[in-house]
């Protein structure tokens, strides 16, 4: 989730007004038979989609075939894009859920199960590498879950274990908010926030308990020092479920080349975020220029609701954000491929994957990437850059499967030791 919270951008100054929004043409990337064949023999895995917000707040049905729906994920779109497994993000807005993080976490987990129960012929809950492979054989979408933001555990190791038992297979140590044991990149410059210089001792215990349980440690969103603490602590490979490259776009959410090399050494994987604000410097600049006005528009809406004693409506905020995003020209498709290519070159081909952030970026994705149905275009673009079929399959999901398998193996070892 990269939703623009007011606090994230309150520090940014308004700059000159933007070039007027241009009509966006979807780039024409024809997917060849060769690319299709690679897709068909791959297990395509995406490690981050925020669709559960839609399940819960909008009552969205993943079986929807509504042609006017602008969402990135549906069973139909997943099928067209050959998507084999999706890690659905369990993201609890820390501002609107103060005092009941766990309750909202459970509600979101429930929303994923309910969708799987509604569509047993095309979707199944998955909790392991074996489950993903079984779903693939049965031509069903494997539905996995990752918690986005350590605040969900309410500083309670029992809750962490309960989430594992319910099927959560990764946790992002922080979202954009620093919690009580991990610093976030989202507020690291905010003097009003109490920081910890990375992970606290309890935070390190959380990482080790995740290792023991077999829950992947996700370092997307965390502050740089938290990243380095996590990588020094973990006994298993870790993931960046939805992060891009800072050498190409200077966003604190993106990873430096040193971090990419450290993840390679750790044996982990960095799954590239498709969000235009993370993959294209021009888009990011335009976004920063409008940040103050956008934040003011959202604040006005939130204040008016508060004045009426009404709860904040996620759908409405998302609509406002989409309107603002749509004013900025979409980056070319190649911006996304440049990040995959950069990470493959710096970290190595075994350490890059896909972490779209679908349904969490207010519609702001590069041209030609309108939904999960467009995923095969990535294969085509990588072929066009000279990548081999074997290497492409690693990027599409092979690397994530390897890391997940390794995390399962480390868990088995640690559990055996602790008995």
Q: What residues line the site for Zn ion (CB under 5 A)?
A: 1
Indicate the helix (H) or strand (E) that contains 144. Answer: strand 141-148
Provide the minimum distance between the beta carbon of 368 and Zn ion in the complex, in angstroms, as a whole number: 22
Query: What is the per-residue burial (b if ≥16 Cβ within 10 Å, else e) of 66-92?
Result: eeeeebbbbbbbbeebbbbbbbbbbbb
Provide the minimum distance between the beta carbon of 29 and Zn ion in the complex, in angstroms, as a whole number: 26
- The single-letter DSSP state of residue 86 is E
Six-digit token pair at 271?
């799954």
Cβ atoms of residues 24 and 276 within 8 Å = no
Provide the minimum distance between the beta carbon of 419 and Zn ion in the complex, in angstroms, as a whole number: 36
Provide the minimum distance between the beta carbon of 1 and Zn ion in the complex, in angstroms, as a whole number: 4
Provide the minimum distance between the beta carbon of 148 and Zn ion in the complex, in angstroms, as a whole number: 6
DSSP lists the bridge partners of residue 374 as none
Nearer to Zn ion, 185 or 233 (CB): 185
Nearer to Zn ion, 39 or 271 (CB): 271
Nearer to Zn ion, 246 or 393 (CB): 246
Six-digit token pair at 400?
């994530």
DSSP lists the bridge partners of residue 49 as 88, 358
Nearer to Zn ion, 278 or 387 (CB): 278
- How far apart, in Å, do the first and last CA atoms of the chain sit? 38
Nearer to Zn ion, 1 or 239 (CB): 1
Provide the minimum distance between the beta carbon of 48 and Zn ion in the complex, in angstroms, as a whole number: 7
Cα separation, 204 vs 224, in Å, equals 15
Nearer to Zn ion, 240 or 328 (CB): 240
Six-digit token pair at 199?
């992970």
How many CA atoms within 13 Å lie on the side-chain side of 46?
A: 29
Residue whose Cβ sits closest to Zn ion:
1
> Cα dist. 14→251, 287, 291, 294, 364 in Å?
18, 10, 7, 10, 20
Nearer to Zn ion, 93 or 280 (CB): 93
Provide the minimum distance between the beta carbon of 221 and Zn ion in the complex, in angstroms, as a whole number: 6
């Amino acid at each position: 989730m990269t939703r623009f919270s007011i606090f994230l951008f309150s520090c940014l100054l308004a700059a000159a007004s933007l070039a007027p929004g241009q009509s966006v043409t979807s780039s024409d990337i024809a997917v060849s038979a060769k690319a299709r064949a690679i897709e068909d023999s791959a297990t395509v895995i995406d490690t981050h989609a925020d669709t559960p917000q839609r399940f819960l707040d909008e009552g969205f049905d993943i079986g929807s075939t509504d042609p006017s729906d602008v969402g990135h994920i549906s069973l139909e779109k997943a099928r067209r894009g050959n998507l084999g497994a999706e890690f659905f993000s369990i993201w609890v807005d820390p501002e609107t859920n103060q005092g009941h993080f766990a309750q909202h976490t459970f509600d979101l987990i429930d929303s994923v199960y309910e969708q799987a129960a509604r569509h047993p012929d095309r979707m199944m809950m998955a909790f392991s590498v074996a489950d993903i492979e079984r779903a693939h054989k049965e031509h069903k979408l494997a539905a996995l879950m990752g918690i986005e933001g350590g605040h969900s555990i309410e500083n309670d190791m029992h809750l962490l274990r309960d989430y594992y038992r319910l099927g959560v297979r990764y946790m992002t140590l922080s979202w954009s908010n620093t919690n009580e044991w991990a610093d976030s990149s989202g507020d690291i410059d905010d003097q009003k926030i109490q920081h910890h210089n990375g992970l606290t001792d309890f935070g390190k215990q959380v990482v080790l308990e995740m290792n023991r349980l077999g829950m992947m440690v996700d370092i997307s969103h965390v502050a740089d020092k938290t990243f380095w603490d996590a990588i020094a602590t973990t006994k298993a490979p870790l993931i960046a479920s939805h992060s891009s490259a800072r050498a190409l776009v200077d966003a604190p959410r993106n990873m430096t080349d040193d971090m990419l090399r450290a993840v390679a050494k750790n044996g982990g994987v960095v799954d590239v975020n498709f969000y235009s604000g993370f993959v294209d410097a021009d888009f990011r600049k335009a976004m920063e220029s409008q940040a103050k006005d956008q934040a003011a528009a959202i604040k006005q809406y939130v204040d008016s609701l508060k004045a009426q004693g009404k709860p904040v409506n996620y759908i409405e905020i998302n609509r406002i954000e989409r309107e603002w995003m749509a004013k900025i020209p979409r980056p070319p498709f190649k911006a996304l491929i440049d990040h995959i290519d950069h990470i493959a070159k710096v970290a190595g081909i075994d350490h890059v994957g896909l972490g779209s952030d679908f349904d969490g970026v207010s519609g702001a994705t590069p041209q030609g990437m309108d939904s999960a149905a467009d995923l095969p275009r990535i294969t085509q673009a990588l072929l066009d850059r000279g990548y081999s079929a074997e290497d492409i399959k690693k990027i599409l999901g092979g690397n994530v499967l390897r890391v997940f398998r390794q995390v399962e193996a480390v868990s088995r070892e640690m559990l055996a030791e602790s008995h």
